[in-house]
Amino acid sequence: MNPLGRRGPRAAWVLPCAAAALAMTMMAGCSSDDDDDELPPVAEAPQPEPPAPEPEEPKTCLQLSDTGELIDPLAPPAEGAPEVGSGYASKGVVYARTYMAIAANPIATKVACDVLARGGSAVDAAVATQMVLNLVEPQSSGIGGGAFLMHYDAATKEVVAYDGRETAPAAATENYLRWISDDERTTPRPNARASGRSIGTPGTLHMLDAAHRDHGRLSWKELFEPAIRIADEGFSISPRMSASINGSRTQLSRDPEAREYFLNEDGSAKAAGTLLKSPALAQTFRAVADGGIQAFYTGEIAQDIVDEIADTTGDITPGLTTLEDLAEYESKKREAVCTHYRQYLICGMPPPSSGGITVASALGVLENFDLGRFGPSAVDREGGHPSPFGVHLVLEAERLAYADRNKYIADTDFVPLPGGSWNSLLDKTYLRQRANLIDFTMTMGIAAPGDLGPVPFGLAQPIVERGTSHVSIVDKEGNVVAMTTTIESGFGSFHMTRGGFLLNNELTDFSAQPVD
């Protein structure tokens, strides 16, 4: 079975150059262990001439909805705003001369732009953005969860990976999610996810503090001011947030704090356009702004987290997280996964994220095809129509990459990669062999992983995830942040602390049942 260590495996896509306008600053970021002499050094690679940027306007960074209007946190949302629905949408490229911020909610994006306009760093903007996302997109991320952050330093050309994912409590055993105890061998109630057993020790704040100590310019305290103001004054619930609440209203109703915050008295979801305030979260933010992360990992907030996880109201199975688990939590700095793709050097998040290796693997397969022949047609300012064959190649490459990801990539603190390094998965010869498996006329269906030797543990069942958010930021100096932040599934464990934030269900990434 999958090992129940202190940290869960994760498949988040965390690639700094994946967002628009970020690849340019990542190309010269770091060295690679790949010794393929056929690839030209990044510094010598010819650079394509970018299209001329649009004339800069003072509000360019703030044109955040499809209508191009500025977002007022107190204004009722337009139909369908602010987030674009799932599925294909043709979009053009956006250019900026000085800085850029991208987040899943325009209120959070505006806060990031405000921080950058004041001379804040990319990390400063990421801290402020995360706090606001905790309010306006609570179903996807927050300080009760975990995150990965990639940082590119424009001055030193260094790429650093910050790992702030949740960890299992010290008392967790291999049967922690399987049954309540050795004496009571029944499934945690009401289920593993909604019990206290799914909750890992949160890491987002610890990671952001570490990144801010390394790369912050503005004070830690002032980065919380926008979120505190929005929590006190309120914001307008977006249609997407309301729809998400409606889809989880039964589970949210089991928790007293979540029920009061997200639902009406009759148990229905609060509607889009409702003014929502969170004095409890404002108080939590003030405590962390004034006292630093120790105010979160020790003291009243920590005790509140432990109490919420241990709560048995409604016959819920409690978790075993302790104050010591919180006080001893440490985020980590890791070496980024960097590999060549054509003339570029692409850097991504290393394990326990599988994102960096998986993206590099897919690109390594695609490198064997002339993708320039299969670009989109009818290209204009709004995007274009993708080539069916180009889409086919990308999908097949991703099938192959995900097959390897599912078999070989886990938390390398506990489960080694084949050969002890990601180089075996990203070897150019190996990926060329994988590319030869692509049929030009039909899909391969479910791809088989490559043969890179045995693995020490069985394969867990795939997990369908609907949580997680991503933030991409470039500051005036060219420093870049790419952060993937999550409470795992939508609304996490459905447990909300008295401090106004939801707790994750990260530990359900582990296999509850033994597998061969």
506: left (phi over 0), alpha (psi -120 to 50) or beta: alpha
Please identify which of the residues 201, 358, 468, 486 carries the catalytic annotation. Answer: 468
As a whole number of angstroms, the distance between CA 200 and CA 509 comes to: 11
Give yes or no for a cis peptide into 188 (omega within 30° of 0): no
| φ, ψ of residue 115 in degrees (nearest 5) | -65, -45
Measured torsion, CA atoms of residues 286, 291, 296, 298, in degrees rounded to the nearest 10: -140
Contact 271, 488 (CB under 8 A): no
Q: What is the DSSP string of 365-384?
A: HHTTS-GGGG--EEEETTEE
Other CB atoms within 10 A of residue 149 CB: 28
Element (H, E) at 341: strand 337-341
453: left (phi over 0), alpha (psi -120 to 50) or beta: left
As a whole number of angstroms, the distance between CA 81 and CA 238 comes to: 7
As a whole number of angstroms, the distance between CA 343 and CA 341 comes to: 6
Residue 421 in tokens: 């390094």
Relative to beta strand 158-164, strand 469-474 is unpaired
513: burial class by Cβ within 10 Å (0-12, 13-18, 19+)?
exposed
187 is catalytic: no
Coil, strand or helix at 452: coil
Helix boundaries (H) for 71-188: 106-117, 122-136
Coil, strand or helix at 131: helix
Contact 355, 349 (CB under 8 A): yes
Residue type, 103: A
As a whole number of angstroms, the distance between CA 60 and CA 81 comes to: 18
Residue-wise over 90-110: b if at least 16 C-beta within 10 A, else e? eeeeeebeebbbbbbbbbbbb
Element (H, E) at 472: strand 469-474
Contact 195, 317 (CB under 8 A): yes
Report the catalytic residues. Answer: 468
